[in-house]
Amino acid sequence: DATNLDEKIHLVTPTYLFPHNPNPQDQVHLTSMGYKWLAAYFGRARKELVWDKIFPRSLKVLSATYSGKKITVKFKVPTRPLVLDTVNLAMTTDYGFRVTDGTNTLAIDTINTYDDTVVINLLNTPISDVYVRYGHDYLGAGLTILNGASGNLRDSTDEPVVIDGQTKPMFYVAPHFELKAVKEAI
């Protein structure tokens, strides 16, 4: 969970976007392409830390609030706007989001992105606590990650890398998280 990272810990990227070994006996390790692509992410983070002298950038969840059926999740975004990407990231149920009351799943009507915000509209108004989860519950179509989960939220960074003749995107992908949403005062 990436909601309470110490400032000395640098989250480079979750790994659900990289190709994993499809062998049913493995499905934990990345393919050689996956490891090379991951290395490019580590290289970028090291450059930012060592050469640019900045805390390595990442897509970071900041807060979740709700009022009625509407949940608003705010992010620190390296390059706006946020995108729900089903082309470069495997289509995942509810884009990887799940809303609960702590026990039961609350039905989602729509999910939209705006600049640095994700807005989730529920089918019904919650009557107790609201928790927003991302990347914990659903595995995208066609992915082979043992006990894994994924999502479709990323930023708009346009920094491709070429690996073995293939161009791969280097956008910032949302990490797994769970937040208790705060009820907005009316």
74-85 residue pLDDT tens: 999 999 999 999
127-178 residue pLDDT tens: 999 999 999 999 999 999 999 999 999 999 999 999 999 999 999 999 999 9
pLDDT the model gives residue 153:
98
Rounded to the nearest 5 degrees, what angle is found at the Cα of 121, between the Cα atoms of 120 and 127? 110
Mode of pairing for the β-strands spanning 161-163 and 166-168: antiparallel
Dihedral angle sign, alpha carbons of residues 91, 93, 99, 103: negative
Prior bond of 56 cis (ω within 30°): no
Q: Quick check: 4 pLDDT over 60?
A: no
* Residue 131 · residue 100 · CB < 8 Å: yes
92-138 residue pLDDT tens: 999 999 999 999 999 999 999 999 999 999 999 999 999 999 999 99
Q: Quick check: 186 pLDDT over 90?
A: no
Q: Quick check: 1 pLDDT over 90?
A: no
Q: Quick check: 2 pLDDT over 70?
A: no
What end-to-end distance do the CA atoms of the chain give, in Å? 31
What are the percentages of helix, strand and coil residues in the chain, rounded to 5? Answer: 15, 30, 55
List, as one string, the DSSP characters of 91-151. --GGGGEEEESSSSEEPEEEEEEETTEEEEEESS--SS--EEEESSS---TT---TT----
9-56 residue pLDDT tens: 889 999 999 999 999 889 899 999 999 999 999 999 999 999 999 999
Task: Assign 3 to helix, strand or coil.
Answer: coil
What is the Cα–Cα distance from 157 to 173, expressed in whole angstroms?
10
What is the Cα–Cα distance from 101 to 6, expressed in whole angstroms?
27
Q: Is 106 exposed, middle or buried (0-12, 13-18, 19+ CB in 10 A)?
A: buried
Closest of 24, 4, 122, 137 to residue 71, by C-alpha: 122
